[in-house]
């Protein structure tokens, strides 16, 4: 099977490619700029912005992929408040470019769009595990762009009678995730303290929020199953089913590090609008592709902290 991955040099992209390469797949990558990891793999890499339709079409015409896994995005909620237009164009127009180019070349192919649990927005306030059929009320520029692209793609898929899977992936974390996401923000600071590069103070945002977290390996496993198995067009949650308080993550990382660390709440790190608690129900995906998460949350934190200590 030939699989084209966009955003291949990003956090999820690198983990996904490592796993896909171990299987009998033919991989092609799209990435905006030159990337050391991608250059080290023996695969075709197209360096382009997903807003550049002609280059995208050229890549897809040359490679003729069976499956497109669309990861490329402005993925950071905090950044989306500062750059709403960039977030909208990348996440909406970029996704539409890929849809148009992909199905122009292969109307029998599978388009996997990576969306976000954040699309549920205010509905999460119900405090019950979110299901795909529940209403979405996104509350920030990032989740609005993700919901918009998801709905555009699904409506077009209905009209064009093509196969589009759009995930609502809940929070994920692991080695290689950028600063700007909560586990990386905390683990990188704890690692710097451990290495003596920083005084024993950690700066954090809103600790009262809670999220449904998956370790990156479980997320990749879900994406691979969606790639390999037949799956009807629609929306699929990818979640653990458990909500974890941000404060727990902080305390656990400090406990694992075995150092006394002073916690400083930094109001600048708070979001203009925050839905406090997310938890998802992923029965739909489990039933169709037989996926279930397997990594213990605390073990995932240990691996992530080790990554930061060693890098």
Residue numbers at the binding site for ligand A2R (CB under 6 A): 7, 9-13, 31-33, 49-51, 71-75, 90, 94, 114, 116, 169, 178
Residue closer to ligand A2R by CB (options 186, 194) is 186
Q: Six-digit token pair at 161?
A: 């009678």
In sequence order, what are the residues at sequence separation of 6 or more whose Cβ sits closer than 8 angstroms to the Cβ of residue 263? 201, 202, 204, 250, 254
Q: Residue 261 or 291: which CB sits closer to ligand A2R?
A: 291
Q: Which does 46 bind (CB under 5 to 8 A by kind): ligand A2R, ligand GDD, none?
A: none
User: Phi and psi of 262, rounded to 5°?
Assistant: -85, 130
> Considering CB distances under 5 to 8 angstroms, the limit depending on partner class, which of ligand GDD, ligand A2R, none binds residue 178?
ligand A2R
Pick 50 or 88: Cβ nearer ligand A2R: 50
Residue pair 257/305 in contact (Cβ under 8 Å)? The answer is yes
* Residue 158: both structure tokens together: 């209905």
Judged by beta carbon distances under 5 to 8 A according to partner kind, the member of ligand GDD, ligand A2R, none in contact with residue 12 is ligand A2R
Helix (H) or strand (E) holding 84: helix 84-88
- Nearer CB in complex with ligand GDD: 119/221: 119
Helix, strand or coil, per DSSP, at residue 220: helix
We find the least distance from the C-beta atom of residue 35 to ligand GDD, in angstroms, to be 19
Out of ligand A2R, ligand GDD, none, what residue 118 binds, judged by CB under 5 to 8 A for its kind, is ligand GDD
Alpha-helical runs (H) found in 177-296: 182-194, 216-228, 246-257, 283-289
**List of residues contacting ligand GDD (CB under 6 A):** 75, 77, 116-118, 170-171, 180-182, 185, 204-206, 209, 211, 246, 269, 271, 274
User: Closer to ligand GDD at the Cβ: 75 or 243?
Assistant: 75
Give the residue among 169, 82, 76 at the shortest CA–CA distance from 130: 169
240 binds, among ligand A2R, ligand GDD, none (CB under 5 to 8 A by kind): none
Cα–Cα distance for residue pair 145/118, rounded to 1 Å = 10
3-state SS assignment for residue 78? helix
Tell me the C-alpha distance between 206 and 131, whole Å: 26
114 binds, among ligand GDD, ligand A2R, none (CB under 5 to 8 A by kind): ligand A2R
Measured from the CB of residue 219, what is the shortest distance to ligand A2R in angstroms?
Answer: 8
- Quote the least distance from Cβ 10 to ligand GDD, whole Å: 10
Q: Which is nearer to ligand A2R, 157 or 261 (CB)?
A: 157
Residue 163 binds: one of ligand GDD, ligand A2R, none (C-beta under 5 to 8 A by kind): none
Question: Cβ distance 205 to 186 under 8 Å?
Answer: no
Distance between first and last Cα of the chain = 34
Nearest to 249 by CA among 192, 205, 207, 217: 207
């Amino acid at each position: 099977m030939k699989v084209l991955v966009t955003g291949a040099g990003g956090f999820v992209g690198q983990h996904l490619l490592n796993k896909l390469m171990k299987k009998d797949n033919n991989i092609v990558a799209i990435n905006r700029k030159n990337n050391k990891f991608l250059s080290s793999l023996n695969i075709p890499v197209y360096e382009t912005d997903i807003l550049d339709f002609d280059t995208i079409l050229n890549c897809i015409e040359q490679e003729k992929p069976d499956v497109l896994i669309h990861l490329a995005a402005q993925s950071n909620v905090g950044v989306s408040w500062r750059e709403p237009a960039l977030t909208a164009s990348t996440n909406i127009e970029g996704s539409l470019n890929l849809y148009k180019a992909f199905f122009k070349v292969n109307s029998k192919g599978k388009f996997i769009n990576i969306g976000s649990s954040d699309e549920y927005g205010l509905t999460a306030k119900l405090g019950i595990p979110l299901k795909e059929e529940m209403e979405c009320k996104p509350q920030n520029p990032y989740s609005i762009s993700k919901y918009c692209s998801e709905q555009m793609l699904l409506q077009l898929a209905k009209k064009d009678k093509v196969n589009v899977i759009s995930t609502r992936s809940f929070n994920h974390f692991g080695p290689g995730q950028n600063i700007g996401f909560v586990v990386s923000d905390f683990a990188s600071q704890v690692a710097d303290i451990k290495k003596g590069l920083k005084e024993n103070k950690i700066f954090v945002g809103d600790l009262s929020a809670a999220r449904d977290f998956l370790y990156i390996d479980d997320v990749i496993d879900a994406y691979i199953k969606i790639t390999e198995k037949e799956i009807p067009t629609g929306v699929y949650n990818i979640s653990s089913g458990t909500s974890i308080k941000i404060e727990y993550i902080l305390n656990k990382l400090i406990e694992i590090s075995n150092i006394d660390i002073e916690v400083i709440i930094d109001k600048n790190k708070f979001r203009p609008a925050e839905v406090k608690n997310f938890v998802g129900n992923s029965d739909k995906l489990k039933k169709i592709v037989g996926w279930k998460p397997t990594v213990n949350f605390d073990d995932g934190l240990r691996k992530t902290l080790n990554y930061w200590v060693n890098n």
